């Protein structure tokens, strides 16, 4: 079974790690990005790419914090990059897999991620592998997990954990950093995931429930006569 889906990602540079420091280099060997856990502030939040990290950065900046997005800030750092270095006292931000996997079709830093977890491609199958493996990686070292969709419900605890006095959740658009131009190609549903790789989709489905998304019970009758589904061969550019 083949699923032809346009792929817009660029590979991007590979990640270079040395202890609690990581960097990216261009083709001439010059460092274009560097992160050091020792120099980062106390607030650290990670998760998958396209999981709303830009949104939470804007929320924290509205509170007066100097927060870096995928880079260091005086008060801390937010981004998927932190999963590569396992910093202490880090929060794990999650997003519903269907939304995050769909949004991943616009991501452009696969070189970084492929150096941290094993991903076989950059289409739907690779996005599925990434969501599961990156979140499992975050589970290994993060001290607290929350759904970005339910931030208003855990806002008081969030403030307490970062040492901030009680206050209303800042008014920041929830579609900050969205890639609307890709939407007509990338609104995946559970059927798409199960048709791509049934075993992997089941693991993602189970993890979604574990994270508290309470996804509806799947009607698997339509899959009973499919036999062993082949891994999807996803089109690439």
pLDDT tens, 4-25?
A: 333 333 456 667 777 777 777 7
pTM reported for the whole predicted model: 0.80
In sign, the C-alpha dihedral spanning 118, 115, 208, 233 is negative
For position 178, what pLDDT does the model report? 52
Distance CA 135, CA 57 (A): 19
Distance CA 112, CA 14 (A): 5
In the chain (237 residues long), the average pLDDT of successive 10-residue segments reads: 36 70 76 73 93 95 93 90 89 96 78 80 89 96 97 98 97 70 66 94 95 74 41 30
Count of other CB atoms within 10 angstroms of residue 158: 20
Q: Where are the alpha helices (DSSP H) in 145-219?
A: 155-162, 190-196, 198-210
Instruction: Determine the pLDDT at residue 174.
Output: 81
Strand 43-46 to strand 76-78: parallel, antiparallel, or no bridges (unpaired)?
parallel
Residue 232: which residues within 8 A CB-CB, separation 6 or more? 1, 2, 3, 123, 124, 125, 195, 196, 197
What do you get for the CA distance between the two ends of the chain, in Å? Answer: 19
Please calculate the CA angle 230-110-204 and round it to the nearest 5 degrees.
45
- Residue 42's contacts (CB-CB under 8 Å, 6 or more residues apart) are 75, 76, 89, 162, 163
Where do the domains of the chain lie?
A: 15-223
CA atoms of 102 and 189, how far apart (whole Å): 9
Q: What is the model's pLDDT at position 3?
A: 36
35 close to 21: Cβ distance less than 8 angstroms = yes
Considering only CA atoms, give the Rg of the chain: 18
Coil, helix or strand for 183? helix
């Amino acid at each position: 079974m083949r699923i032809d889906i346009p792929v817009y990602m660029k590979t991007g540079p590979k990640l270079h790690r040395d202890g609690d420091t990581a960097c990216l280099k261009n083709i001439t060997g010059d460092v274009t990005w560097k992160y050091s856990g020792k120099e980062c502030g106390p607030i650290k939040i990670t998760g998958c790419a396209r999981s709303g990290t830009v949104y939470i950065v804007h929320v924290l900046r509205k509170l007066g914090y100097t927060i870096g997005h995928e880079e260091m800030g005086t008060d801390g750092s937010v981004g998927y990059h932190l999963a590569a270095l396992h910093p202490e006292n880090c929060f794990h931000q999650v997003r519903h897999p269907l939304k995050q996997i769909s949004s991943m079709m616009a991501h452009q830093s696969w070189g970084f991620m492929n150096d941290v977890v094993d991903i076989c491609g950059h289409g739907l199958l690779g996005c599925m592998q990434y969501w599961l493996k990156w979140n499992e990686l975050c589970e290994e070292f993060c001290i607290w997990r929350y759904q970005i969709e339910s931030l208003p419900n855990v806002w008081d605890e969030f403030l307490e954990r970062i040492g901030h006095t009680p206050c209303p959740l800042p008014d920041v658009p929830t579609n900050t950093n969205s890639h609307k131009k890709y939407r007509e190609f990338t609104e995946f549903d559970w059927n798409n995931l199960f048709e791509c790789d049934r075993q992997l989709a089941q693991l993602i489905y189970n993890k979604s429930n574990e994270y508290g998304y309470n996804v509806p019970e799947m009607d698997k009758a339509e899959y009973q006569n499919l036999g062993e589904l082949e891994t999807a061969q996803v089109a690439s550019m």
